[in-house]
Amino acid sequence: MPRGGGDEDDLYAVLGVPPDASADAIRKAYRKAAVKWHPDKNPGNQEQAESMFKRVAAAYEILCDDSKRAAYDRYGMAGSTTTRSRSSATRSEAAIRSSAAEAAGTARACRPRRPS
């Protein structure tokens, strides 16, 4: 697998699940790890807890989304970053289209009606 870079980059290892884990297993592992590493549960070691909590959340964000997970499995972190960039661009484009549609709808509503 092209993930490389050691365990710190292996999102499956961060959550403690195998690469062929089901979505349900990933969700359960995320919840368990999130509780374990929540900074409020680790007042004596807040820095490490916060760092691990962020890693766990980032791993879950990628592995719970089928398209991001497929990109990660195929290309490693580079693939998941590319997918994230594309999805952000897609959201931006959708917001622009939505704004344009609202403006067009408003423009139509402002036209005078034809007499019937």
SS3 of 3-66: the string is CCCCHHHCHHHHHCCCCCCCHHHHHHHHHHHHHHHCHHHCHHHHHHHHHHHHHHHHHHHHHCCH
For the chain, the straight-line distance linking the first and the last C-alpha, in angstroms and rounded, comes to 69
Number of domains in the chain: 1
Looking at the domain assignment, is residue 45 inside a domain? yes
2 domain residue, yes or no: no
Domain that holds residue 62: 7-110
Full pLDDT tens readout for the chain, 116 residues: 444 445 557 999 999 999 999 999 999 999 999 999 999 999 999 999 999 999 999 999 999 999 999 999 999 888 766 444 444 444 545 554 444 445 444 444 444 455 65
| Threshold 0.85, pTM exceeds | no
Residue 39's domain is classified under what CATH number?
A: 1.10.287.110
Supply the DSSP symbol for 39: G
In a domain, 21, yes or no: yes
The answer to whether residue 80 sits within a structural domain is yes
Amino acid residing at 29 = A
In a domain, 1, yes or no: no
Separation between Cα atoms, residue 31 and residue 25, nearest integer Å: 10
